[in-house]
Amino acid sequence: MITGISNSWNSFKSSSAFKAMLCFCFSAILSLSLSGTLKSLKAQPSPPMVNDPLHNLQWYFENTGSMGCFKPGVDLGVRDAWELTRGDPSVIIAVIDSGIDLEHPDLLNQLYPRGDDDWNFSSSFRNDPADSIGHGTNVAGLACAEADNAAGATGLAPDCRLMPLKVDSLLNFPQNVLAALEYILGFVQANPDLRVVINMSLSSSGGGLEDEIAELITILRSEGVPSFAAVGNSGGKITFPANVPGTLAIGAVAPDGVRIQATQSCVSEDFTSNQGPEIDFVAPGVYLPTTDPLGPAGLTDNAFNENFQGTSGASPLAAATAALMLSVNPELSVDDIEALLRQTARDGIGALGEDLPGWDASHGWGMIHAGSAVSAAQNALRFKRGDVDLNETVEITDALVILGYLFLGDSVISCLAAADIQDDNEVDISDAIGIFGYLFKGEAPPVEPFLSSGFDATPSEGLPLCLRTNQSKRRALQD
């Protein structure tokens, strides 16, 4: 009997009826996967990272490519980042925007205590940063919404703190931004044990204050404060303040890694991420679940918006990545953060002919990858120019390593910045003499700090980064 059933099954498998049924099933499945609504995004990997109900819509945390045009790996690598940190309360994300819903259940516990400080830099007279149009609440939630409270979605840096600084979107906008930046400068100077990351998901004219704002952003950079800004959604040139020198300008990509455009097939959104020479990076910018105010100020009728979109959403994800980096390594400078973001960005994920190798005008240096960036930040260590063998002391052995590299062929210097004492992008005899001068002639010690991120930079490449393994920070840089 079993044999008869087997023969019948084999006969049916080879029949045209079976093939037609199989074709129909595959067609139905394919149609379902391509035409599913946003709710279908709930098929995300398990186990979940948090218990928040909208977490399974956060495809940009971990993109498996299981839905429609979604491309595996086009995500922020959040699982890897969170294995190292979810943030630190001493790192504050300052969101210069329309304010936030101060009583929102996903943001209430995230606020840095403001005391008597007035965080309202708009033209309204209320001494609080209450959200007036809903935009700021959506932006803030992407960066810092509370985790594991069984409510809404989760911010990328939920253990960092939030500082919402309210500005007007139109009236006196540049003056508002300038005043908010001045406040942040005073705050960081008064609180040297805290680190601040700025996000500006807003766009308008510079109002003649571009130079003043650029100068202030440069000063903030010197104080260790990076400024992230959305490039804009008009499909044209990058707008203020993202076009201000010193900011990190962030564009938006879809779940397939392509720069979001109104005409593309992967997403049916009606905006296009701006591009131009000022762009630095891109980040996910569509289908972003986040917080939304209740009442007339909300963008939706609920306390949560399941589909925030635009470069306004991409920028806080980049800023939150920097906040996570500072959480594992608060000694990073803004130059360090920018260098590590460049080295760990996902390049070449966008459309052929647009996302070119290295920097390009549509994707910048590539898509932010929080997992790799936070890991690189944790592994990054400071060292002194002249400390070629990385034993934390400038001594005669450092000069001997340089001489061996130059004349004996028994050393390979992999760290140009440490060995190039003269800072002329060349390792030569003058660098060894510089060390001897420091040791025996009483000259000023070469103590300028640089970043070691675990990436090799040979002397011929002329880069200020140095190779260091994770096993021992005292390992000499020689093969």
Q: Spell out the domain ranges in the chain.
A: 78-378, 381-461
Residue 227 β-bridge partners: 198
Measured CA to CA, the distance from residue 119 to residue 190 in angstroms comes to 16
Which of these ranges, 25-39, 134-148, 299-313, has the smallest mean pLDDT? 25-39
d(CA 112, CA 161): 5
- Contacts of residue 46, defined as CB under 8 A and 6 or more positions apart, other chains included, come to none
Split at pLDDT 50, 70, 90, the class of 74 is very high
Percent of the chain with pLDDT over 70: 78
Whether 104 shows a pLDDT value over 90: the answer reads yes
Show the tokens assigned to 245: 């020198």
Residue 448: band (very low, low, confident or very high) from pLDDT cuts 50, 70, 90: low
- Alpha-carbon distance of 174 to 139, in angstroms, equals 19
Summary mean pLDDT of the chain: 82
Beta bridge partner(s), residue 91: 195
- d(C-alpha 290, C-alpha 155), whole Å: 8
Average pLDDT score over residue span 137-147: 97
Reported confidence tier of residue 451, pLDDT bands at 50, 70, 90:
low
In this prediction, residues 33-39 reach a mean pLDDT of: 37
Using 50, 70 and 90 to split pLDDT, how confident is the model at 444? low
For the record, the structure tokens of 319 come out as: 């800023």
Question: β-pairing, 91-97 with 161-166?
Answer: parallel
- From first CA to last CA, the distance across the chain in angstroms is 71
416 contacts 427 by C-beta, under 8 angstroms: yes
pLDDT over 90 percentage in the chain: 56
> Which of 204, 144, 140, 216 has its CA nearest to residue 168?
204
Q: Is residue 464 over pLDDT 90?
A: no
Task: Identify the residue with better confidence: 413 or 71.
Answer: 71
pLDDT: which is higher, 4 or 95:
95
Average pLDDT over residues 12-19: 46
Instruction: Give yes or no for residue 117 having a pLDDT over 80.
Output: yes
- The partner residues of 304 in beta bridges, in order of sequence, read 291
- Whether 386 has a pLDDT exceeding 60, the answer reads yes
More confident residue, 336 or 37: 336
Distance between CA 343 and CA 405 in Å, rounded? Answer: 27
Q: Could you give the CA distance from residue 221 to residue 322 in angstroms, rounded to a whole number? A: 13
The verdict on domain 78-378 having CATH code 3.40.50.200 is: yes
Q: How confident is the model at residue 383 (pLDDT cuts 50, 70, 90)?
A: low
The dihedral formed by the CA atoms of 294, 113, 332 and 143, expressed in degrees to the nearest 10: -10
Query: What is the pTM for the complete model shown?
Result: 0.78
For residues 386-418, b (16+ Cβ closer than 10 Å) or e, as one string?
bbbbbeeebeebbbbbbbbbeeeeebebbbbbb
Give 451 or 263, the one with higher predicted confidence.
263
pLDDT (tens digit, 9 = 90+) per residue, 299-338?
A: 888 899 999 999 999 999 999 999 999 999 998 989 889 9
* Cβ-based neighbours of 233, under 8 Å, separated by 6 or more: 203, 252, 271, 272, 273, 274, 310, 311, 312
Question: For residue 124, what pLDDT is reported?
Answer: 77
Give the DSSP H or E segment for 433.
helix 429-440
Q: Is the peptide bond before 47 cis (omega within 30 degrees of 0)?
A: yes
Does this chain's domain 78-378 share its CATH topology with 381-461?
no
pLDDT bin (cut points 50, 70, 90) of residue 3 is very low
Residue type at position 420:
D
Residue 64 or residue 267, greater confidence: 64
CA-CA distance, 419 to 394, in Å (whole number)?
A: 11
How many helices and strands (H and E) does the chain possess? 12, 10
Q: CATH assignment of 381-461, given 2.60.40.10, 1.10.1330.10, 3.90.700.10, 3.40.50.10860?
A: 1.10.1330.10
Q: Is the pLDDT of residue 413 over 80?
A: no
Which tens digit of pLDDT belongs to each residue from 221-268? 999 999 999 999 999 999 999 999 999 999 999 999 999 988 776 776
Query: Given this model, what pLDDT does residue 30 score?
Result: 26
* pLDDT confidence tier of residue 388, bands split at 50, 70 and 90: confident
Q: Looking at the predicted structure, is the pLDDT value of residue 171 above 60?
A: yes
Query: How confident is the model at residue 118, as a pLDDT?
Result: 93
pLDDT at 1 over 70: no
